[in-house]
Amino acid sequence: MNVQSIIGDTPLVELTTFDVPSGVRLFAKLEFMNPGGSIKDRMVDYVLADAERRGLLRPGATIVENTSGNTGAAIAMLAAARGYRAVLTMPDKVSKEKRDALRALGAEVVICPTSAAPDSEKHYVSCARRIHAETPGSFMLNQYDNPLNAEAHFRSTGPEIWEALGPAVTAFVASGSTGGTISGVSRYLKQRNPAVTSVLLDPVGSVYHRWFHHGVLDPAEIAPYFVEGVGEDHLAQCMDFSVVDDVLRFTDADAFAACHHLARHEGLLCGGSSGANVWGALRVAHSLKGPATVVTVLPDSGGRYLSKIYNPQWLSENGFGPGATSERDDDL
Q: So which residues are the catalytic ones?
A: 40
Q: Please give the span between the terminal C-alpha atoms of the chain, in angstroms, as a whole number.
A: 41
Strand partners, 270: 301
CA dihedral 69, 72, 73, 77 (to 10 degrees): 180
Distance of CA 279 to the CA centre of its chain: 15
Dist. CA 105–CA 50, nearest whole Å: 23
- Helix, coil or strand: residue 276: helix
> Residue 114: which residues within 8 A CB-CB, separation 6 or more?
91, 92, 93, 224
CA distance 146 to 257: 33
Strand partners, 198: 172
User: Which residues are registered as beta bridge partners of 89?
Assistant: 66, 110
Q: How many residues does the chain have?
A: 332
**Contact indicator for 169, 190 with CB cutoff of 8 Å:** no
321-326 long-range contacts, Cβ below 8 Å, gap at least 24?
324/253, 324/256, 324/257, 325/253, 325/256, 325/257, 325/259, 325/260, 326/257, 326/260
222 within 8 A of 250, measured Cβ to Cβ: no
Q: CB within 8 A of 185, min separation 6: which ones?
A: 153, 154, 157, 158, 161, 172, 174, 297
Helix (H, G, I), strand (E, B) or coil at 132: helix
203 preceded by cis ω (within 30°)? Answer: no
